[in-house]
Amino acid sequence: MTDPAAPLAPEQPNIPEGDAFAVTPDLVRRVADALDREQADEALALVSSLHAADVADLLEALRAGDREDLIQALGPGLDPEVLADLDEHVRDRVLEKIEPEEIAAAAAELDTDDAAHLIEDLDEVEQRKVLEAMPAADREMVEAALAYPDESAGRLMQRDYVAVPSFWNVGQVIDWLRETEALPDEFYEIFVVDPRHRPIGTVPLYRAMRNQRKTEISTIMNTDIHMVPVVMDQEDVAYQFDQYNLASAPVVGPDGRLLGQITVDDVVDVIQEEAEEDIHRLGGVSADGDLHLNPIQTVRRRSIWLVVNLLTAVIASLTIAIFAETIEQIVALAILMPIVASMGGNAGTQTLTVAVRALATKELTAANGARILWKECVVGGVNGIIFAIVTGAVAAVWFGAPIIGLVIGLAMIINMLVAGAAGMLIPLGLSRAGVDPAISAGIFLTTVTDVVGFFAFLGLAKLILL
């Protein structure tokens, strides 16, 4: 039913259908074409309405020469946020083309965490030039951030925050916020501190706005606060935000004093970064990826793990060599044995992927490890039986020998059972040893499933068929 007293809804804007992303292939081509024709004004007109993050995506999509031309065309109009949003490999090359004074000016306009992120990978001499060119107050905060370990809460936090004493009332807080110029660009909570500047509570902005001016802050503050130690790893910070649905959190030093704040927008970047690291490492690629590196650099990075993989492949080949005489007598074994190893490898990879991610999100711990291990063994065993029946039947019909179907079926059950256990035990063992399981678990798993698969299949063949 329509309420005649209700105001008419405003006419909805005509939102065009199509690509949800601002940086489309067509836009990249048009900008590149304008730059190739030396029409800098045309290129600037195409990017003028883009968000800083979209400009960063555009720069990453352009060829190196076009990228330099566009940055030169933007000149002082280049939003510092663009530099902060760039892929680090691209950003390093961009910063090489910018004077230290320009980098310093950009860093001074960014939040402390973004400024530190911008210059942290510069060489020591270049970094010192940039810091010396920054205003003293900004330089001091950035230097303090750089003093903390990489990927720690100290690097992630913003130095700007809002803190008030507990004896103030809502009116005093509002008046102070209106009169103070040195406020963070964005904040979601007001931190309440004691005389030693230690957090004792937080007041969400919506709660402050809903209460009368005379209401004391101490009566409406949350006392159940989740404080972040300044040396906490950023992955643990992200876990706290996800676990407790935080919008922001105070960062404290060893003495409990408030040093800064971490907001959810920074944590979203951390979650994406950590997820990308896990994906890259599972694929044998360096944690920061190599999409924007040149071919030589990419070859150098990837060849390390390929060498390791070659060594493990040799181990699997040595297993096959043990049964060389058996294979010579029954050629069908050479045709069928890759099936057993491949199925075991894929089944193990499924378990491994779940285990690595569960360890990262702390869903897999010593408390439930045995139970989940048992579950994965059951899953591997049941899948092994199912595919043993399928592959055994196919092999029996293919070669006209039911006994060969029996051999491959038994080997399939053994290898998939082992794959389920190994896919869970390998990352658990690496994690307990203090090694990131995403780095090398895949290679260990492949070795186990290949060796067990070949040994089980060829060993059973020798035992049963000969």
- pLDDT band per the 50, 70, 90 thresholds, residue 72: confident
Inform me whether the pLDDT recorded for 4 exceeds 70.
no
pTM over 0.85: no
The CA-CA-CA angle for residues 78, 81, 84, to 5°, reads 115
Q: Which residues of 151-168 are buried (b: 16+ CB within 10 A; e: fewer)?
A: bbbbbbbbbbbbebeeeb
Contact 249, 240 (CB under 8 A): yes
Report the C-alpha gap between 205 and 198 in whole angstroms: 20
Question: What is the set of domains in the chain, with CATH numbers?
Answer: 25-151 (1.25.60.10), 163-263 (3.10.580.10), 295-465 (1.10.357.20)
The residue with tokens 């001074």 is: 108
Q: 127-141, 293-307, 435-449 — which one is most confidently predicted on average?
A: 127-141
Give the count of beta carbons closer than 10 Å to the beta carbon of residue 147. 10
- Edge-to-edge strands of the sheet including 199-204? 163-165, 189-193, 199-204
What is the tens place of the pLDDT at every residue in 23-60? 888 999 999 999 999 898 999 999 888 998 899 899 98
DSSP secondary structure string for all residues of 206-256: HHHHHS-TTSBHHHH-B-----EETT-BHHHHHHHHHHHT-SEEEEE-TT-
- pLDDT band per the 50, 70, 90 thresholds, residue 310: confident
Q: How would you class 229 by CB atoms within 10 Å of its CB: exposed for 0-12, middle for 13-18, buried for 19 or more?
A: middle
- pLDDT band per the 50, 70, 90 thresholds, residue 8: very low
What is the tens place of the pLDDT at every residue in 383-432? 999 999 999 999 999 999 999 999 999 999 999 999 999 999 999 998 88
Inform me whether the pLDDT recorded for 264 exceeds 50.
yes
Residues sharing a CB contact under 8 Å with residue 242, sequence separation 6 or more, in sequence order? 271, 361
Give the count of beta carbons closer than 10 Å to the beta carbon of residue 340. 31
